[in-house]
Every structure is written in structure tokens, then in C-alpha cells.
Structure 1
């Protein structure tokens, strides 16, 4: 409790960083299932330990659909639509995920690797030709995943702007203007419906054409609302999270020049380094909240039915029970891939194989072509996006 007898306010007041909020790490160690309050007045529980976060994400007694209402406890009001796949429980979630998942299998994603490498090479060539300093965000971290997800969907890169405006509005965690959000959503939906109609008349070998055909077929199908919101989520998640992860990963590596030097000397370590960066780099405040359908036990404490639970992934990824010396950043850490950054259970991140591969490709390009890379601004000069779900960087100036 705070000095005033109230539960502490969540999200915790911490400056944007590559690290979790210190309060989350303290709770992991001393108060693993704390009661906290949200800005809207709701009191909710956090779970911070690895086993508890796994349980919160995978236990069938924990419901996502129960929180897909406008008045449910949340820190991201724009992500509460019941038509969003992440907000559904089985069997609805199972039906919708099955219709979308084929494009994101590990096998299909690996078929994309040569194209992703080509895009990364082109972007690197442009950076090298222009000379330092360069903004890593606008030169690589933003365009690489943006180009890839648009090509996968069959959407021209310059046709995504109205959709990006809405996906950015969906991920705001601070001020939320319902009227502006609705207006931005209407513009995005109108634009996307035009793209869908074009795909109906001229289908191609792309994901949007495939989803449109599924929508038009009998049997299992996407409703129009599901189709619209699924495509917007794919664009937003396919760009925003990877962009933030890559930029913050390079920033973290700049704080650990010994680890950067290991990657330069042994680029074969990049896949494992990507997993360690996914473990250590903090994106956002917490994973998707769930509501308990019945009493559930976490760390020996019974959480009553009807309680909203936020899994604090950033804390769980520093749990010493799973990751020895958890605050040590080690690109060769053996258990790095055990991180929970992509979730667990039925809602495990659909795009995880694609995000992993893009991060690997980008890091490999940087360590092999810019071995002398350094961040060209002090930490107190960095331009953050504290209002964004990922709490990423607007800009990251680098030299080489």
C-alpha cells in the first residue's frame, strides 16, 4: 500500500528505458501478486513471477473475452474490441486463429527470409551511402518490418498510412480521446474496405486476398468486422513491436560494448542474441490482462473469481528461478529462449516466427556491415514514445 493507504498506481511511474520498471522487479522478489489500481479507479492484481505469468497466460480459467468491453479494466483503451482475435476465448479464438495462422508458420516464414535479407541489404546500402549519423529508426527499424508486413498482406507501402494512423491510436496508453479514435477508425475502415474490394475483384497470392476469400466462403469465415480489425492488428503488430524491439535492442547493445564485440567476432551468435534481447528488453508495462473465471492460485495466494490479472512479462523474464543472474545481459545465455515475451498458451503471439526472423536479419546486417556502430546521442537526449504501448524510441542516432 502507498502512504495514503491505497494500492500503488499502475503502470508504475518510471522513465522510458530498455529495462523494466524497478517497482516491478521489487515486487517479483518481495510481493509477487500485488494489488494495484489503474488510473480509471479499478483495482487489479499483477503477477510477476515466471510460473505465475505462464499460468495467467495459459490457464483456461483465465478469460480474455471477459475484458473485451468498454468499461473493463485496461491500460490501453483502444484494444478492447470483442472482434479482435487476442480478445477472444476458445472456440471463437480457435476458429479465427486457424484462418490466419497458416501464413505465420515457421516454415512459411523461413521462405520469406531471402526477401527480408534483400530488403535489409537495400536499407543498409542507403544508410551507408548517406554516411553517418543516421537515424536507425527511420532508416531500418521502421521500414524493414513495415515493408515486409505490407508485402505479406499485398498492400502497397504507400497505402498503409491511414491504417497506421489507426493502429497507432489503438496503442496509446495515456490520454485517450474516444471521438478522435472513432474518427481515425472510420477513415481506416473505409480505406481498408476499398482495398478488400479490389482484392475481391483481383485476388493475388497474398494474405489479404486469402483472408478476403475466407470471408466470402461458406463454413468457417471472418465476419467483416473481424476481417477489418485482424488486418489492422497485423499491420500494427507487424511493424510497431518489431520496430521498437530492434531500436531498443541496439540501444541496449550500445550499453554493453563487450556483448556487441562478441557478435561482431561471432555473427553466428545472432539468433541466440535475439532471444536474449527479447528477454531483457522491456516493451510496454504488462502482457494482455485476463479475468479469472474461478478462484486461481498464484504463488500460494488465492485470487478470487472475477479478478482482473495483469501478467508482468518484463518481471517474469528476470525471474532468478529460471534465469540465473537475471540482470546480466549475455548474448550466449543458454536459457534465453525460455523468455515469455511472445506469451504462452492459446494466445501465443501469431507473428512470433516473423518477428524473430526479422530481428535476426537486422542484427546480422548491423554486426557484419557496421562493426563500429555506436549510438551518437546521450541517454538524456533520446527521443522516447512514453505514450505508446511499446514505449519505444522515436529516433536513435547512430554512427559507425
Structure 2
């Protein structure tokens, strides 16, 4: 049991709260830029047409759409009864809009073709034929929208040194041209021109940043899932591009040059760029899940907080970085786990970095289910 003194310490409340009240002034502009637009506000305009739309996060400006006609599917949807609750922590990234009795209908669709009532968070009972039709449409659209999940060794062959390619940010939709200059464990990249450097800087709100972002790397008809940061460092090589150094792009299994270890924040962004964020996080160990939560806290990424806790989140922190790295515990027979992690953090209304300890409580329903972070208390 926590003492009264511990209860009075700063807590990170894992419950739905008003965004405007909890976001720190330094963080609010960044987060609101991602989440102000309603999710999938467009609707089908033809009564005989379905419109599919996919994007990586609710507020992402990069989206891919397709339209198709299927009268039998429309009849199946119009007569579908309510099914089981939809229990995934994130709503489907793909939506389907169509007309029913002169009213626009909007549903989520999973990669397996399940239709989801977004308001009720409940699936619809569809025939196997109708679900297969949806599954094929969603599969084709997501394949266009997201990138291939290639290992670093495979990606390095697709992007040889001195190759130039397009880098597209999956949230802002902004893109620029870059060139791989070096890098044996991940790609060391530079923007090609001043304009490309300016675009990269604008993706980060007008200042260089170490924050990780999910990106697509496009070259020779291939689109690869990747993660980048936006901080110039190290060697230079393209004169006159207003970028003093290079930035890094990671792929599946990439490691840092210094520690030769996988960067957890880059890996979660690689999977976001591949459209596999929920699948990836659902398989993580408690320690790795905490790494994703800390990345979300550090970057003000509400989707990462939600996928780790199963709840919509807001957070009272400017920055957070993990300091302690304990050995992985054997949790194979556990349904609950309490663990502490040392972090360097900056509070919402502070500029000073302090060393703190966070007490995490994690749970899962059965030994076969995934872990969720149910509480995090800063001590």
C-alpha cells in the first residue's frame, strides 16, 4: 500500500482528461497540430460508392483513399447486427464511409475485414463473403499507404551509399529529398538542398530535434518503413544545403553507432510506418512496453500512450528519458507486475531536468494476453 506521503507525490493519471488542461505550454502546440482535425471527416458523396481511407494516426495529414462499388456488401452492412465489443486499444486505422437512407455512415475496418461501429466500439456481424471483400480492399489500400518492413541488412541494399531518395513523414505528409552518405548500422542521411533542409526542419516545428518520427523512404518504386530523427550531427558532405552534419534513418533491427544496440523509440516508429504499431506493441515484454510509454511521454505522443495503457491519455511532462535498464524478468507466469524505472525528466512548468523514479504497475488478463500499463507514479 502507498503511504499518504507517496500519494501526495506527482502522479501521471492514466485516465481520459481534457487535452487543453493537461498539456504543458511547451508541448501543446506540437500535440494539437497532430490532433485538432476530426478523424476521417470526409464521407462518400455517391450513394452507390464506398470510400476507404487510411492514415497512421487520427490527426495525421498523410492519408490514402480509394473508392469502390459493391452492392452486396452494402446490403450486408445495412442488415448487419451488432457483434462483440471491439477491445483493441486503438481504433482501426482504416475507415469506410457510405450512404444509408440519405445518411452518411462511417465505420472502422480492421486488416482482417471486421467492420467496427466507431462510436459504440462494437464489431458488426458480417458474412464470411462480406468480410473477405472488405479484407481485400483494406489490404490493397494499406499496402499503398504504408512501407515494407525490411531489416537493416535488406534496406541497406535497396539504399546504397550515395543513393538519393524521398523521405515522407507519415503524420505531417511533408516530404523532402535526401541522400545516404554513410552509416554501417543505420543510414546517415543529409538533405539534398536548402529547400529540403527547410522542409525537414518544418516537420519538427521549426527547430532541430532528436525526436523520432515514422517515415517512408521511397526509391525506385519501393517504399520502406523507417524512423528518423531531425538533429544535425557528425560529418558533413553536401555543401550549401543549410544542414551542418547528417541525421539518421533507422530500419527494422538497426542499431546505433555508439552503443551498437537497438533504439526502442526508433523501432516503434518503424512499425508505425509499416502500419503494425498495435501488433508490435501487443507482443512486447513489460520492460519494452515501458520504453514505448517513456517515448510517448517524452514526445507528447498520445497514440503511444494509448497503445501502452489501453486508455486515451494526456500527460503533464515536457521531456522524459530512461536512465536505468534492468535485466528482463521472467514474467511468463505473472498476471501483474510492479517495477521501478529511473528517468531524467522535465516537468510541465519547469526547465530544469531532474532525476526521478517511476513506479509502474502492469497487468494482463490471462497468460496468453498482452500486457498493459495500468498506472505510473512519479516518486
User: Into which bin does the TM-score normalised by the smaller protein fall?
Assistant: under 0.3
| Larger relative helix fraction | 1
TM-score by length of 2: 0.21
Structure number, greater radius of gyration: 2
Q: Which TM-score applies when normalising by structure 1?
A: 0.20
Q: RCO higher in 1 or 2 (8 Å CA, sep ≥ 6)?
A: 1
